[in-house]
Structure formats: C-alpha cells, structure tokens
Amino acid sequence: MSNALKRKVNRLGIMGGTFDPIHNGHLVAAEMARGEFNLSKVLFIPSGTPPHKNSRDVSAANLRYEMAGLAIKDNPEFDLSALEIERKGLSYTVETLRILRRTWPDYELYFITGTDALLEIFSWREAEEILTMIQFIGAARPGFDASDFLLKVQKEHPETKGRIHYLEVPALAISSTDIRARVRHGQPIRYLLPESVRLFIQQHGLYITEENA
Ligand code: ATP
Ligand code: MG
C-alpha cells in the first residue's frame, strides 16, 4: 500500500444546535456518530441568533454555550466552539462551514444532525453548496422517519451520492422544548440531560417563565 493510502484520514464531526439546553439526545447522537464514522473529534457549535427560531426568545448565547461546555467536559473527544456565538447577526451553516473548512484544511467534515434536521437540509441556505463541502450524518430521532427522504434524495439529487448517511442510534425521545416545558411545569428533568446542566438550569432559574420557553 502506498504511503498516501496508508495515511490516516482525519475526520471532524460537527454538531450544531441551539442547545437550549443541551441534552442526552445530542450527546448520544454525537458519540455514536464519532464511533461509527471514526471521527477524531466532535465539535459542538452552539448557534448565535438562529435563523429558524425567531418565533420565541432563545436563552442568551453565553448560557447555552456554558451548558454545552458542562455537558461535554468529561469526553476528551468532544470540543466546544464559540464560532457562531461570537459572530454578529444570523449564523448560516454554510458560512460556519466555510470557516471550518479553512480552519481544518486536512480534515473531512461530517455534519451531524438528527433526522428532523436532516429532512430540512434542502431548505438551508446554499444547501447544494454545503453538500459538496461536507458529509452529512442523520442520527435517528423518534418521530422523524428519514427513509422516504433518503430514497427521494437518491433520485432527485444523485450528486449527493455517498455523502448523506443515515445512522441508527439508540434513539432518545428527548427534546429541549420538552425539557423547557418540564421545568416550567415543575416536572422532573433528571436523567434527560447531564446532572451538571440540570444544576446549572436550577441555579440560573432558566425556563421557569413563559418568555423563555
Ligand atoms: P428544540 O426542541 O428547541 O428544537 P432540540 O432538542 O431539537 O431543541 P436542537 O438544539 O434544535 O435540539 O438540535 C440540535 C441538533 O441535535 C439537531 O440536528 C437535532 O436534529 C439534533 N437532535 C436534537 N435532539 C435529538 C435527539 N433526541 N436525537 C437525535 N438528534 C437530536
Ligand atoms: Mg430542534
């Protein structure tokens, strides 16, 4: 085998999200993707002002960033990036990916989403461009079946062949929306997310009122 072929391929996983708050669904998806696709590391990138979430107030970026930091602290292969929260204005994935492409020139980029987000990717700004830059991993999320979507993509976007991967993971029906509602209603959230994040939410009184729910 030639040296070029033997050279280890570096692969960077990218997990974007609002993370309001980060929970075990995010962590399991990222960790399973890391194992399955041999990713050297997974970068968690909390969004700044999310383009798709204008309808409700999202918690301050620094709080979401801090919670993500607490959640990933004990995994040496997880990292946190302030790339999107430090940027002014709306953060579009394509811009973030261009920056990551320049920052990690020797890495193959793998964008990890749940199947709910996977179903939406063609509505993203410059979706076709994104699909030439990176690979996609759609991790199973209860309630969002991607099989019809994947068949359709195969037919209608043959140029994406081999770049969109479906990943079966031990699916967790956990969402940030549900966690926020639980806090608001005084219901338990323990075991849905890391204990450090649960304590942070408690200490900062997050999600107890409507405007942040
Ligand atoms: P919200 O309810 O506020 O939309 P969320 O739980 O969907 O929050 P996001 O921050 O919107 O979390 O999601 C970030 C990424 O993580 C998305 O790609 C989403 O599909 C994925 N994701 C979220 N929850 C899960 C889950 N339980 N299983 C698999 N993937 C998930
Ligand atoms: Mg979501």
The predicted pLDDT at position 81 comes to 97
Mean pLDDT of 158-170: 93
Nearest ligand to the CA of 177 is: 1
pLDDT greater than 60 at residue 83: yes
Beta-carbon count within 10 A of 173 CB: 10
Sequence-distant (≥ 6) Cβ neighbours of residue 4 within 8 angstroms: none
What is the whole-number distance in angstroms between the Cα of residue 111 and the centre of ligand 1? 13
| Residue nearest (by alpha carbon) to ligand 1 atom 22 | 114
Mean pLDDT of 202-210: 92
The three-class DSSP label of residue 185 is: coil
pLDDT greater than 90 at residue 209: no
pLDDT greater than 90 at residue 90: no
Give the separation between CA 41 and CA 103, rounded to whole angstroms.
14
Q: Could you tell me if 121 and 134 are in contact, meaning their C-beta atoms sit under 8 angstroms apart? A: no
In the block, which residue shows the tokens 């994947």? 150
Ligand 1, residues 18, 91, 164, 183: which to mutate, most atoms within 8 A of Cβ? 18
Q: Domain residue spans in the chain?
A: 9-173
Ligand 1 site, residue 146, Cβ cutoff 6 A: no
Give percent of the chain above pLDDT 90: 77
CATH number for the domain whose boundaries are 9-173: 3.40.50.620
Q: Could you tell me if 71 and 194 are in contact, meaning their C-beta atoms sit under 8 angstroms apart? A: yes
Instruction: Kindly report the backbone phi and psi dihedral angles of residue 104, in degrees, each rounded to the nearest multiple of 5, phi listed first.
Output: -125, 65
Give the separation between CA 129 and CA 83, rounded to whole angstroms.
20
The three-class DSSP label of residue 49 is: strand
Mean pLDDT of 81-97: 87
Instruction: Kindly report the backbone phi and psi dihedral angles of residue 50, in degrees, each rounded to the nearest multiple of 5, phi listed first.
Output: -70, 130
